[in-house]
Amino acid sequence: MNATAKILKAEDGVRLTVLGDHQCIKLSGKDTNNQFTLIEQWNDPGIGVPKHVHANEGEVFHVLEGTVEFQIEDTVQTLKAGELTYVPRGVAHRFTIVGDTKAKVHLSIFPAGIERMFEEMNQLPSGPPDVAVVTVICAKYGVTILP
């Protein structure tokens, strides 16, 4: 089945909060014939995602506003609005919003499917996460949290 063209307004999409990371799934695998997922993230300084690796997906992070520190393997780089990074599958990475303003990032993930993990994690109770539960959910989707 082929994907169907789609126009989205700024407010369109499925809004989630995944371990403190505010996301809006703009395009899912259902929209793109499983070719990719597009997620918009908007977060305060200090919010981040721990070092992890994907067995199945590559990612492109495009910083639209604010400043984001990325660690890719052992290299740490700070990106500002207009800059992006590509992280192939199998490459360890993490990110943290830095500076004193919110950051807005478009995250393209290919192939699609990982959005199901985010939707599942969105159902977890608020507050400090149960690391064992998060680890099991991540493993189900081929994501390994690293020390």
> What is the rounded distance in angstroms from the CA atom of residue 88 to the CA atom of residue 129?
27
Please report the pLDDT score of residue 75 as a whole number.
Answer: 98
- What are the tokens at 21? 């990371």
Render 73-142 in DSSP notation, one character per residue.
TTEEEEEETT-EEEE-TT--EEEEEESSS-EEEEEEEESS-THHHHHHHHTSPSSS--HHHHHHHHHHTT
Please report the pLDDT score of residue 1 as a whole number.
Answer: 64
Q: What is the mean pLDDT of residues 6-25?
A: 96
DSSP state of 17: E
The whole-model pTM stands at 0.94
pLDDT tens for each residue of 62-98: 999 999 999 999 999 999 999 999 999 999 999 999 9
DSSP state of 29: H
Please report the pLDDT score of residue 105 as a whole number.
Answer: 99
Query: Rounded to an integer, what is the distance from CA 119 to the centroid of its chain?
Result: 12
Please state the domain extents for the chain: 14-145
CATH for the 14-145 domain, from 3.30.70.1380, 2.60.120.10, 3.30.420.40, 3.40.50.300: 2.60.120.10
How do 143-145 and 67-72 pair as beta strands? unpaired
pLDDT tens for each residue of 104-145: 999 999 999 999 999 999 999 988 889 999 999 999 999 999
